[in-house]
Amino acid sequence: MDFVTQTKLSGVLLLSPPRFGDDRGFFSESWNRRKMADHGIDLDFVQDNHSLSSAVNTVRGLHFQSPPHAQAKLVRCGRGALFDVAVDARKGSATYGQWVGYDLTAENGLQLLIPAGFLHGFATRAPDTEIIYKCSDYYAPECDGAVRFDDPEIAIDWGLTGDAILSEKDRSAQLFSDFESPFIVEGAS
């Protein structure tokens, strides 16, 4: 698999950092700014997040931070397995409202790069799943927002095997049709 794979949503990239295996296990560079810049991606990450979801079918999302604190995220799985989803929320985008989802596991080491302007969420596929992600802006609760993970218009196939386990915030999230996107696709006026 190539180091960088473009997805059907412009700017959302699936990354496969090389792993060097030996008798002890493996070594991998999980983030290398210079290497990413060689691929035309120059992001200034300022915060790393790490969360544990105990149960299978835990869903966190779909989340965003509005400008001026919009966040690009580089997501990977530290333990277990998760299905990671990005939804294009950029007004004027040809793929507005479309989603992509990928299985990121501790074993496959895949990463998803999600630019600002996308909603992000994930579902856990294994117990005690840990997600680790870099963010390009600091947490700003006043800019924090959520759209329903099961929004009928976006219609994400989460592949859940039971009822979704949600936070109170996510249970009461807005519909995509009520969401006034603060994001504009680059180049649109």
Ligand X SMILES: Cc1cn([C@H]2C[C@H](O)[C@@H](COP(=O)(O)OP(=O)(O)O[C@H]3O[C@@H](C)C(=O)[C@@H](O)[C@H]3O)O2)c(=O)[nH]c1=O
Whole-number minimum distance, CB 38 to ligand X, in Å? 26
Q: Of 9, 60, 112, 134, which one interacts with ligand X (CB under 6 A)?
A: 60
Residue-by-residue DSSP string for 49-92? EEEEE-STTBEEEEEEE-TTS---EEEEEEESEEEEEEEE-EET
Does residue 80 interact with ligand X by CB under 6 A? no
Does residue 11 interact with ligand X by CB under 6 A? no
Residue type, 101: G
- Return the H-helix or E-strand segment holding 110: none
Window 119 to 138, contacts with ligand X (CB under 6 A): 120-122
What single DSSP character describes residue 173? Answer: P
d(CA 73, CA 11): 12
Whole-number minimum distance, CB 180 to ligand X, in Å? 18
Q: Of 13, 63, 117, 173, which one interacts with ligand X (CB under 6 A)?
A: 63
Tokens describing residue 45: 């990450």
Does residue 76 interact with ligand X by CB under 6 A? no
Does residue 101 interact with ligand X by CB under 6 A? no
Active site residues: 63, 133
